[in-house]
Chain A
Amino acid sequence: MIWSWEFVAEITPDLLKGLVVTVKITLISSVAALSIGLFFAIAKMSSVDLVRRSAVLVTETIRRTPLLVQLYFLFYVLPDIGIVLSPMIAGTIGLGLHYGTYVSEVYRAGIINVPAGQWEAARACNLTTRQTWTEIVLPQAIPPMIPPLGNYVIAMFKETPILSAITVLDLMGEALAKANFSYRYLEPITLVAVGFLFVSLCSAALIRLLENYLKRQAA
């Protein structure tokens, strides 16, 4: 099979549309994962035994089953009980939930790594619980969370092609559509790889900038 620039030119506009969808899904799913992760983290650190145990059970279950299965569940099984989700919504919820479990661990580790002495000093300074969190704990816990959170966002981005399995027309979905129609796989799939590589490199650079900025803030 010979590389055809003509075919590339023909499919590129639709693939770019797909890339925009992919980036959009990643961003929305990231926000979902960061929020769901926070919810799980708080539940896992709760002083109420039942809440803590349930949170661990739920997150472990989600983490130990494949994302693809969860997506099928959300998109193909839920309609059986009357819950119909669009491919985009199902995909965002799936990614958000799945990565939310990993994100919750990042939050938890970040908070646990703030030494007990900091909580005690805050108490000795007679700060309220809220002030202790906002002034003492979070400013120390958040900077070390940024690199692992950034990595999860990039990992999530690289995993979005799986959403084509529930008919989302992201970059991969568009490429597969073109390929199946023309029986040419070389150009669409290569362009998918290039598209992902490009966005990955850009976002890795962005995260590095953010890290450096935070490091300078801390110093």
Chain B
Amino acid sequence: MGLHVASRAPDCQPIIEFRNVEKSYGSLKVLEQLSFSVKAGEHLALIGPSGSGKTTILRILMTLESVTAGDVIVNGVCLNHEQRGGKQVPSSEAHLRRMRGAFGMVFQHFNLFPHKTALQNVALAPVLTGSLSKAAAKERALQMLENVGLADKAHEYPSRLSGGQKQRVAIARALALQPKILLLDEITSALDPELVEEVLNVITNLRNETDMTMLLVTHEMGFAKDFSDRVLFFERGKIVEEGPPSEIFLSPHHERTKSFLRKIIAAGHRL
């Protein structure tokens, strides 16, 4: 497999920037003084042992969690604070809603709306947020379902779909508002092995055919290697090592990275 290098000229300003971010649940420190940035159009893989804070990072970006300290900057605008009356105040719901528009998220357990058909799941957000008329939203939702190979399942309810199909609907739903940044949280780990590929193929297509910035949390190291421009290896809420996939996967520097990759391979994941 060839090494992918970001093909687009990177913007000078990062699209995402974490500045000394801290996140605690009570006395449990989940993220510690975390700083990193992501360039527009970059494909970033976040790897690391369970509990190292990868999901938390995506959830903070999707505004499902707040940060305990530090700042998250998206497109040059602070996510967790806003300016009001010349002062920095914690973000209001209105500010969060504006910021949220930049993101789409695909969850490990799909989280499809069970009382809506595949088509309704995808068309819901554009209709309710008023970004498209009902007819236009339906048309685009159909197009998106076709892109993920599910045009024939448009009128099925999620309970009648396989795991792989559910996750592809969830991807279409996450794309419905045309986000600049796509967050993917272990999107294949709840799937039967034979259904993993159909979902990863969709992601590969998105990677190659759009200029979306993508953050991928995964235990599929083989896929992470082909997918990413850069890999961050996390442990206990800190970045232990980062670099291009060729380096992280083939000649990691840190002992922690090496032992993590050994364990992953021993657990049956291909590299």
Contact = CB atoms under 8 A, between A and B. Distances in A.
Nearest to B183: A124
Nearest to A134: B128
B113 A118 contact: yes
Interface stretch (A86-94, A125-133, A150-158, A185-193): A125-133
Candidate in B62, B100, B115 with the most chain A CB atoms within 10 angstroms: B115
A140 interface: yes
Contacts of A117: 107, 109, 111
B64 A218 contact: no
A125 B177 contact: yes
Interface of A: 115, 117-118, 120-121, 123-129, 131, 135-136, 139-140, 218
Contacts of B107: 117, 120-121, 124
B107 to A, nearest CB: 6
Interface of B: 62-64, 93, 97, 100-101, 103-105, 107, 109, 111-115, 124-125, 128-129, 173-174, 176-177
Main secondary structure of the interface of B (DSSP, over half): loop
Main secondary structure of the interface of A (DSSP, over half): helix
Contacts, number: 55
A73 B205 CA distance: 71
8 tightest Cβ-Cβ pairs between the two chains A and B? A125-B125, A117-B111, A121-B111, A124-B105, A126-B100, A139-B115, A131-B128, A120-B64
Contacts of B104: 124
Given A117-B107, A120-B64, A128 B97 contact: yes
B101 A126 contact: yes
Contacts of B174: 124
B115 A123 contact: no
Contact of A127 (B109, B114, B115, B125): B125
Nearest to A139: B115
A124 B62 contact: yes
A192 B26 CA distance: 60
A118 B101 contact: no
Contacts of B100: 123-124, 126
A64 to B, nearest CB: 33
Given A117-B109, A121-B113, A126 B62 contact: no
A121 B114 contact: no
A95 to B, nearest CB: 33
Contacts of A135: 124, 128
A127 B121 CA distance: 12
Contacts of B62: 120, 123-124
Given A124-B64, A131-B128, 15 more contacts: A115-B111, A117-B111, A118-B113, A120-B62, A120-B107, A121-B113, A121-B173, A123-B62, A123-B64, A125-B124, A126-B97, A136-B113, A139-B115, A140-B115, A218-B115
Contacts of A139: 115
A135 to B, nearest CB: 7
Contacts of A123: 62-64, 100
A112 to B, nearest CB: 17
Candidate in B64, B103, B128 with the most chain A CB atoms within 10 angstroms: B128
A123 B59 CA distance: 11
B60 to A, nearest CB: 13
Contacts of B105: 124
Contacts of B93: 129
A129 B124 CA distance: 15
A47 to B, nearest CB: 13
Contact of A121 (B97, B103, B112): B112
Candidate in A121, A140, A218 with the most chain B CB atoms within 10 angstroms: A121
Contacts of A129: 93
A128 B114 CA distance: 19
B125 A126 contact: yes
A137 B168 CA distance: 23
A218 B158 CA distance: 12
A209 B50 CA distance: 48
Nearest to A136: B113
A134 to B, nearest CB: 10
A125 B111 CA distance: 11
A135 B125 CA distance: 11
